[in-house]
């Protein structure tokens, strides 16, 4: 089978194209491209079918486990494929590991080390119990997320662009330092003992609920890594589509009730708006996938995320 490879501008990408056996899969084509170019490894490649010029249709993305013949449309021995370089990639595990490692390492620095000397505070620092519990709570949260990344989540996408590592690390590392600075500050004023206990107690219950939500999501995927989406059911998922984001938001609320800083609440607002946008997209995708037509199940009536009661 002859495969002609063109760039998105229509220029020939590999001179003379590639010759593959008739039963070749998209994965075989990706390997052949890598072998020839020595640069574009499979996860860097986005392969699509050409769309007629002027058409507003979205191009069909070639799925790596399908046979090339499935895309040939009658002409069995010749296919034109559009190649796009997605840029350097990293695994999702690497991305998540680095974004969570920052807050896990940076926060204790503000607690244990005399960093405030560099900000002009020379006096002796008195550590309040809430600051110690906040440290444990924070570290438990990010340690849990790293463990979930390696041992719980079954990601459907193997890799993410390298540039996302810098963007996501900037987000988590900056917010981590910002909150750590204020919660551990020598002039920090603690809340009442009761408020602290309510905040941490509630937050901890939500962290455990969040872990349980991730176990439910993990069990929706078969361990062979075949991906695909199912209707999440059980526990808080019976009420909201993104129960994991809901419990994540509430556990940050618990942390903020206990520690009460502007920095913490700013993070809560930003994280809530990010997760709400993602939740809306996930809810739309599940409703589209499970539309109740042609034997497909119908997605049940559910909130998207709580709050803000969408």
Ligand X SMILES: NC(=O)c1ccc[n+]([C@@H]2O[C@H](COP(=O)([O-])OP(=O)(O)OC[C@H]3O[C@@H](n4cnc5c(N)ncnc54)[C@H](OP(=O)(O)O)[C@@H]3O)[C@@H](O)[C@H]2O)c1
Where along the sequence are the contacts to ligand X (CB under 6 A)? 153-157, 210, 217, 220-221, 229-230, 232, 244-245, 248, 271, 274-275, 278
CB of 278 to ligand X, least distance (A): 6
CB of 239 to ligand X, least distance (A): 15
Tokens of 230: 């199912």
Q: How many CB atoms lie within 10 A of CB 143?
A: 12
Q: Which is nearer to ligand X, 217 or 263 (CB)?
A: 217
CB of 274 to ligand X, least distance (A): 5
H or E stretch covering 288: helix 262-289
Cα–Cα distance, 199 to 251 (Å, whole number): 9
CB of 151 to ligand X, least distance (A): 12
Rg of the chain on CA atoms, in Å: 25
CB of 52 to ligand X, least distance (A): 31
Tokens of 65: 């486990």
CA-based max dimension of the chain: 80
For the chain, report the end-to-end CA distance as a whole number of angstroms. Answer: 51
Q: Which is nearer to ligand X, 83 or 172 (CB)?
A: 172
Q: Which residues contact 68 (CB under 8 A, 6 or more apart)?
A: 1, 3, 20, 24, 25, 26, 28, 29, 62, 79
H or E stretch covering 45: strand 45-48
């Amino acid at each position: 089978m002859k495969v002609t490879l063109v760039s998105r501008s229509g220029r020939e990408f590999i001179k003379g194209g590639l010759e593959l056996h008739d039963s070749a899969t998209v994965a075989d084509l990706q390997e052949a491209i890598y072998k020839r170019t020595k640069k574009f490894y499979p996860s860097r490649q986005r392969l699509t079918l050409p769309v007629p010029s002027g058409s507003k249709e979205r191009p069909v993305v070639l799925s790596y486990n399908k046979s090339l013949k499935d895309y040939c449309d009658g002409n069995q021995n010749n296919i034109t494929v559009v190649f796009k370089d997605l840029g350097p990639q990293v695994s999702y595990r690497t991305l998540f590991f680095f974004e969570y490692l920052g807050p896990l390492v940076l926060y204790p620095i503000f607690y244990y080390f005399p960093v405030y000397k560099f900000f002009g505070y020379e006096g002796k620092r008195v550590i309040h119990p809430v600051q110690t519990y906040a440290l444990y709570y924070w570290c438990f949260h990010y340690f849990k997320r790293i463990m979930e990344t390696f041992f719980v989540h079954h990601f459907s996408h193997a890799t993410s662009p390298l540039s996302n590592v810098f963007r996501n690390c900037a987000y988590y590392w900056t917010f981590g330092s910002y909150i750590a600075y204020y919660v551990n500050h020598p002039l920090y004023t603690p809340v009442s003992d009761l408020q602290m206990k309510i905040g941490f107690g509630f937050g901890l219950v939500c962290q455990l609920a969040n872990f349980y939500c991730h176990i439910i999501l993990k069990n929706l995927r078969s361990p062979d890594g075949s991906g695909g989406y199912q209707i999440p059911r059980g526990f808080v998922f019976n009420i909201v589509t993104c129960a994991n984001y809901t419990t994540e938001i509430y556990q940050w609320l618990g942390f903020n009730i206990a520690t009460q800083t502007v920095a913490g609440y700013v993070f809560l607002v930003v994280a809530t708006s990010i997760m709400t946008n993602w939740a809306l997209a996930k809810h739309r995708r599940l409703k589209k996938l499970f539309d109740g037509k042609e034997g497909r199940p119908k997605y049940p009536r559910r909130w998207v995320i709580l709050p803000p009661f969408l």
